[in-house]
Amino acid sequence: MKIAIVYGSLTGNTERLAKGVFDRIAPEHEKALFNIKDNPDLSDYDVVGFGFWVDRSFPFKAMKELISETRNKEVFLMGTMGYFPDSDHGQACIKNTVGLVDKSCNIMGYFICNGKVDMRLLERIAQMKPKNMGEEVFKKHMLDEKNLIKYKMLGEHVNDTDIEYCSARFNERVAMKAAIDSL
């Protein structure tokens, strides 16, 4: 099978995940790794893995557009985000991303994990005021002692376990498709 992984990354988290998954693709498949900045031509590939970081509950803009425009591919979505993937916000991010995929494509699967939040973003968060965002959202984000522990621990991602898990799921889905195609 011909597999392309295309990713974008501001601070390196998504790049780490995408490269880790790419390196672990089984040797029988033809593969290519692209940075979205290079405007890759994906027409030749059967499977496309999209590596994205979450920007306000969606994949960042260029990836959002690329996912929406893609037709007739087997698609795997792999993302990184600053908050808990298993929170309501995380589930909404996944739903938003899945919702971008055209009906002509088949979603083989998805994976989303934490990615260290950039210090500059945390500094912006520190300037936020409850009156602008509501008390509840403010409490979730503000840099108090509890949240600093969360930001620090979540900031240890993307880690090797994330990469292994994402890669195992991706490779399993690719192997499944290859086996079904060979019937």
Which residues are registered as beta bridge partners of 76?
49, 109
The verdict on 62 binding ligand FMN (CB under 6 A) reads no
The verdict on 97 binding ligand FMN (CB under 6 A) reads no
Alpha carbon distance 5, 116 (integer Å): 21
Of the candidates 101, 115, 151, 162, which one interacts with ligand FMN according to CB under 6 A? 115
The H or E element that residue 178 is part of is helix 160-181
The verdict on 153 binding ligand FMN (CB under 6 A) reads no
CB of residue 2 vs ligand FMN: minimum separation in angstroms?
25
CB of residue 37 vs ligand FMN: minimum separation in angstroms?
13
The verdict on 147 binding ligand FMN (CB under 6 A) reads no
The answer to whether the CB of 108 falls within 8 A of the CB of 90 is no
DSSP conformation letters of 74-131: EEEEEEEESS-TTSHHHHHHHHHHHTTS-TTSEEEEEEEEE----HHHHHHHHT--HH
By the 10 Å C-beta count (0-12 exposed, 13-18 middle, 19+ buried), 149 is classed as exposed
Which residue has the closest beta carbon to ligand FMN?
115
Q: Toward ligand FMN, which CB reaches closer, 83 or 170?
A: 83
Selected range binding ligand FMN among 95-103, 104-112, 115-123, 136-144, rule: CB under 6 A: 115-123
By the 10 Å C-beta count (0-12 exposed, 13-18 middle, 19+ buried), 77 is classed as buried
The verdict on 98 binding ligand FMN (CB under 6 A) reads no
The verdict on 54 binding ligand FMN (CB under 6 A) reads yes
Selected range binding ligand FMN among 36-44, 76-84, 128-136, 173-181, rule: CB under 6 A: 76-84
- Site for ligand FMN, rule CB under 6 A: 9-15, 53-57, 80-83, 115, 117-118, 121
